[in-house]
Every structure is written in C-alpha cells, then in structure tokens.
Amino acid sequence: MNQLLFFSNNKNKIIEIKKIFNKFNLELLSLNDLNISEEPEESGQTFEENAKIKSDYGFNKTGIPCFADDSGICIESLNWKPGVLSKRFLNNFRNNEACFESIIKNTKKNSKQNAFFKTSISLTVKDNHNLIFNGKIEGKISEKAKGRFGFGYDPVFIPKNYNKTLAELTTKEKNDISHRSIAVTKLINFLIN
C-alpha cells in the first residue's frame, strides 16, 4: 500500500496528520486532493462508529485504502459530554470564545475540572473490514482560554503534567502527546509492520 486516503475536510486536522506521516514513505491524500466535498452523516453513538462511517464511505467512493478519525472532548462538569457531539456543541455558540466561557463557568460552578480528549481512527482496506485505533489524553479545563495554536477546544484544555493549554504548545509539542497523534502512531505502526 503506497497511497492512503485521510477522510477529512478539516484543514487543521489534515496539516497535523500530514506532519505525523512525513516520516513515512506513504503518500497521504486528503478529500481535497480528490475533489470530494460530500461527507456521510455522522450518526454513530461513539467515536468508533463515526470514524467507521467515514472510512467506509471514503473507501467505497474511491477504492483507495481509507482512514478517518472522530475526536472530541469529554468534560466532567458537563457529565462527560459533549463527546461525539463536540463539533456541534461548539457550533451552537455564536463563537468559540462564548463556548469556552460557558465551559469554564460550568467547571468553576461544579468544582469539577477533569476532562479528556479521545480520538478513534477507523482504517478500511476492504469492504466491511475495519481496524480501530484509539488515543486518549487526560487533563483538565483551564481557568481561562489561552494560546493561539491548535484548534477546537485546545485553548481550554491543559494536558496532565502540563501547565499550558494545548493551544499554547507548538504543533510539534502537541503531536508528541495528543490523543490524535497516539491513535495515528498506532495506525502507522500497524501499516509499516
């Protein structure tokens, strides 16, 4: 296998994933490279199910081995939500800052700071055959949104054993510890062995 499709239209995610893949002799294609803009509905109840829906769709549409990820943040003060609805939850606010303020307020009110990010990757290499790779990073919600790197919830998440948010870390520092990078590394180890 020398070509692999990463099923995503998220520019930030594609940049992050391509940086991790750089070390390996694999041509990584994105939906943009193949002029595909439509995506299936993510109707799964879990990260794994949503990743599988997307990787199956990409493989069936192109015939190229395809992987997709589904990621999200789970916050203790919100009863471990938004989880698989992380993107929708963020989009329900007028902007990211309003969402972050709401999360921080909730966290302070409940005195529950714990949170974790999870990524599930599904790899489809033939019909109805998926391999799942998971990555998880524990941490807590910060007292205020900080940092200008990263994307999504990165400005309010402080990884365990760190005193900076993910958005204050460089891409390289983030890729050394992130939930996505853990899952992608498992995928790459599988592909090269």
Query: How do the pLDDT tens digits run along the chain, 193 residues long?
Result: 678 999 998 888 888 888 878 777 778 899 999 999 889 999 999 999 999 999 999 999 999 999 999 999 999 999 999 999 999 999 999 999 999 999 999 999 999 999 999 999 999 998 889 999 999 999 999 999 999 987 899 999 999 999 999 999 988 898 889 998 899 999 988 988 8
**H/E run at residue 97:** helix 96-110
For residue 82, cis peptide bond before it (omega within 30 degrees of 0): yes
- pLDDT at residue 1 in the model: 65
What are the extents of the domains in the chain? 3-187
Cβ neighbour number for residue 89 with a 10 Å cutoff: 20
**Cβ(189)–Cβ(22) under 8 Å?**
no
* pLDDT score for 2: 74
For the domain bounded by 3-187, which CATH number is listed? Answer: 3.90.950.10
User: 6: closest CA among 44, 49, 57, 47?
Assistant: 57
pLDDT score at 162: 96
For residue 79, give the DSSP letter: T
DSSP per-residue codes, 159-177: ETT-SS-GGGS-HHHHHHH
Residues with a catalytic annotation lie at: 70
Judge if pTM exceeds 0.85.
yes
